[in-house]
Amino acid sequence: MGKESVPQDSDIQADRPALILKDGWLVTMDPDRRVLEGMSVLVENGRIEAIADFSLLCEWNPGAEIIDCRRKAVLPGLCDLHGYLGGGIFRSVGEDFYDAVRYRNAQEFAFTRALDEDWWRVEARMCAVERLKLGTTFMFSMLGTSAARTDDLSFARIASEELNRAGLRSRIGIGPARPPWPRQFSLWRDGRRIDREVPFEDVIANCDTLLSDPVTGIVDYCLALSRIGNRNAHDPVWSEDQQKWVYRQAEAVRDLMQRHDVGFFTHMYGNSIEFTHDEKLGLLGPKTILSHCTDISERSIGIMRETGTHGAHHPRTGRIYSHPGRIPLPEMIEAGVNVGLGCDNPANHDCDLFSDMREAMYLQRVLLREPDVIPPGKALEMATIDGYRALGLDRELGSIEPGKRADLITVDLRQPYFYPLDMLVHRLVYNASGRDVADVLVDGRPVMRNRKLLTIDEDALLDDTQATYRRFLDRTGFAPFAETTARFWGAAR
């Protein structure tokens, strides 16, 4: 069975109580994009059972638990198409290097040599907590950075277990790290570092094993690569050694995709799409998501349209300002390419998709000098239904419709920046932040009520995170990289 699981009713606990979200402003994201004022939603067995007046829903299910939404908007849970499991606790460390190569090398060392099972456990919980508290109910995440940690099965399994426990629906991207191979990785056991040389074949075998694991709960797997590896002016880490692995890497990933019926995620920019198409690597198609897509050509857009390949835009990522080229977002959308949103690496910013919605609009408006490009409605579509469409889950998630899974969030509207209450989608996209999210349901299960998480002891987790972070600094000698530099204050550049 493939490891991209469409949610099934068997995943739901039989004794989960029915819920009614009472009298909210429903931003349905249904095919008609209806916004319904003062309507209620009945949730049963993990699904949206009905949308109707509160009194009628009470007649149908008089014992349902009530969530009062009279001063709240109700939306589909947001969909983050790009995270990095492993990178959250690393947040901001090395940000002041002012040296991209030095920063990348430090990050590579950290991910390949310094992380233990406790790190992955705490990191997965933190990824879940941050996103849930900011209104994201689905996260796609690579397992590590370009140094993907599929050299050991325990890391992916720990992450999956913790994401399930926290209640964040997730898809973990697994695959080989950036070549060449063999690569050096370290495991930590009982405080001791064990260095290993890992061949390419072992990592592919591990991916095969993980993709064969039974899917349980709300976390599954797909294939992922840091990049294709062809010669590309937009790839800061390209080398001849990497290019030698392009075809072997693609063949291995393609074989796993076909045998396990799963999708594929990778970063693409510059000439990568045309290269992948022209060289017949077999990695494009309706189950593939291409991240960034900066400075791609009109022909590349046509290839994405013709193959049904999806895009993922990350308007706050460092690539936006550290590498040349614009993602031709309006051109892609107008050509019929589906594009979702993602926060990308949380190493220097939060994972608030409300911020990414705004930045997706503002970035294009500034670069194109067009004040109305990417309207607020399209930005919200990208963060909801379009993201789920990219994942192949739009029939189950991404809108408030009877029969769909109940992944829902509420936004507290009793804030001055939402008033007067009119033009609600405008208010939400231009003014909301994830910190306005009050309640979160995933699979019909309340995971946050009135900003309080119900699945994790947040205070204890924050203490664990601080302790884990200090151990990481001690282990790596990175403490100086967490200090502000002399040019931090008072300088313009």
Q: Looking at residues 240-268, what average pLDDT do you find? A: 96
Query: Looking at the structure, do residues 132 and 179 belong to the same domain, yes or no?
Result: yes
What CATH number corresponds to the domain at position 416?
2.30.40.10
Domain boundary among 361, 390, 419: 390
The angle formed by the CA atoms of residues 460, 464 and 465, to the nearest 5 degrees, is 115
Distance of CA 338 to CAs 305, 363, 377, 419, Å?
8, 18, 15, 33
480 domain-assigned: no
Query: Looking at the structure, do residues 432 and 375 belong to the same domain, yes or no?
Result: no
Query: Looking at the structure, do residues 90 and 58 belong to the same domain, yes or no?
Result: no
Tell me the DSSP string of 125-163: HHHHHHHHHTTEEEEEEEESSSS---SSHHHHHHHHHHH
Query: Looking at the structure, do residues 44 and 103 belong to the same domain, yes or no?
Result: no
491 domain-assigned: no
Whether the bond into 182 is cis, omega within 30 of 0: yes
3 domain-assigned: no
Residue 471 has pLDDT above 80, yes or no: yes
Query: Looking at the structure, do residues 83 and 176 belong to the same domain, yes or no?
Result: yes
Query: Looking at the structure, do residues 294 and 425 belong to the same domain, yes or no?
Result: no
Number of folded domains in the chain? Answer: 2
Domain that holds residue 197: 78-390
Domain boundary among 371, 390, 409: 390
Q: Taking the mean position of all CA atoms in its chain, how far away is CA 396?
A: 18
Domain boundary among 350, 370, 390: 390
239 domain-assigned: yes
Kindly indicate the confidence band of residue 10, based on its pLDDT and cuts at 50, 70 and 90.
Answer: very low
Tell me the DSSP string of 315-351: TTSTHHHHSS----HHHHHHTT--EEE----TTSS--
pTM: 0.95
Query: Looking at the structure, do residues 72 and 186 belong to the same domain, yes or no?
Result: no
Query: Looking at the structure, do residues 356 and 412 belong to the same domain, yes or no?
Result: no
What CATH number corresponds to the domain at position 250?
3.20.20.140
Kindly indicate the confidence band of residue 242, based on its pLDDT and cuts at 50, 70 and 90.
Answer: confident
Query: Looking at the structure, do residues 66 and 82 belong to the same domain, yes or no?
Result: no
The conformation of residue 232, written as its DSSP 8-state character, comes to: -
Q: How far apart are CA 341 and CA 289, in angstroms?
A: 11
Tokens of 472: 């990481």
E strand map for 45-113? 47-52, 65-68, 72-76, 78-85
143 domain-assigned: yes
Query: Looking at the structure, do residues 239 and 176 belong to the same domain, yes or no?
Result: yes
Q: How far apart are CA 23 and CA 27, in angstroms?
A: 12
Residue 198 has pLDDT above 60, yes or no: yes
pLDDT (0 to 100) of residue 448: 98
Contact (Cβ atoms closer than 8 angstroms) between residue 88 and residue 97: no
Considering 49-63, 89-103, 179-193, the range whose residues carry the highest mean pLDDT is 49-63
User: Per-residue pLDDT tens for 295-322?
Assistant: 999 999 999 999 999 999 999 987 666 6
Tell me the DSSP string of 169-198: EEEEEE-PPSSSSSEEEEEEETTEEEEEEE
Question: By CB neighbour count within 10 A (0-12 exposed, 13-18 middle, 19+ buried), where does 255 fall?
Answer: middle
Query: Looking at the structure, do residues 249 and 191 belong to the same domain, yes or no?
Result: yes
User: Per-residue pLDDT tens for 81-96?
Assistant: 999 898 888 888 877 7
User: Per-residue pLDDT tens for 414-426?
Assistant: 999 999 999 999 9
Query: Looking at the structure, do residues 343 and 440 belong to the same domain, yes or no?
Result: no
Cα-Cα end-to-end distance for the chain: 53
The conformation of residue 214, written as its DSSP 8-state character, comes to: P
122 domain-assigned: yes
447 domain-assigned: yes
274 domain-assigned: yes
Q: Residue 344: which of 353, 335, 331 has the closest Cα?
A: 353
